[in-house]
Structure 1
Amino acid sequence: MDTNQILLAHTQYVAKFYQAYRGPLEKLIELIRYSIGEAAPAPDRVRNFLMRESTQRTLEQEWETALWRSADRTKSWRLVCLATQTDPEVAARLLAKRPPSPDCCSFCWADERGVMGALISEIDLYGNEVPAVRLHRQCARPWKLHRDLVARASGAASNIRESLL
Structure 2
Amino acid sequence: MTLEQQLILLAHIQFTARHFIALRVTLEKLIELIAYSIGTAAPDADQIRNFLIKESTQKTLESEWETALWRSADRNQSWRLICLAVTADPEVAKRLLARRPPSPDCCAFCWQDEKGFTDALKPELDIYNNPVSGVHLHRQCSRPWHLMRALVARN
Instruction: Calculate the TM-score normalised by the size of structure 2.
Output: 0.97
Give the Cα separation in 1 of the matches to 2:25 and 2:115.
Answer: 14
SS state at 1:117 partner: helix
Partner of 2:81, secondary structure, is strand
Q: Which amino acid aligns with 2:9?
A: L
- Cα RMSD (Å): 0.8
- Asked if residue 58 in structure 1 is aligned to residue 89 in structure 2, the reply is no
**What is the CA–CA distance in structure 1 between the aligned matches of 2:12 and 2:60, rounded to whole Å?**
14
Find the counterpart in structure 1 of residue 12 from structure 2.
Answer: 10
- Asked if the contact 2:105/2:118 (under 8 Å) is kept, the reply is no
% of aligned pairs identical? 65
Partner residue, 2:90:
88
1:117-137 alpha-carbon deviations (Å, 9 max, x no partner): 110000000110000000000
CA offsets, 1:129-148, max 9 Å, x none? 00000000000000000000
Matched residue, 2:51: 49
Provide the residue aligned with 2:34 in structure 1.
32
1:120 to 101, 122, 126: 122
In structure 2, runs of 5+ residues without a counterpart are none
4+ long deviations beyond 4 Å: none
Whichever residue aligns with residue 30 of structure 2, its letter is L
For 1:45 and 1:14, the matched residues in 2 are separated by 18
CA distance in 2, matches of 1:115, 1:49: 27
3-state SS of paired residue (1:132): strand
Q: CA deviation at 1:90?
A: 0.4
Question: Is there any run of 5+ residues in structure 1 with no aligned partner, and where?
Answer: 154-165
Offset, 1:116: 3.7
Task: For residue 2 of structure 1, give the secondary structure of its aligned residue in structure 2.
Answer: helix
**1:11 CA drift (Å):** 0.2
Larger radius of gyration: 1
Q: Which amino acid aligns with 2:144?
A: P
TM-score (norm 1): 0.91
Report how many residues are paired.
Answer: 153
1:159 — aligned with what? none
Contact preservation (8 Å) 2:12, 2:34: yes
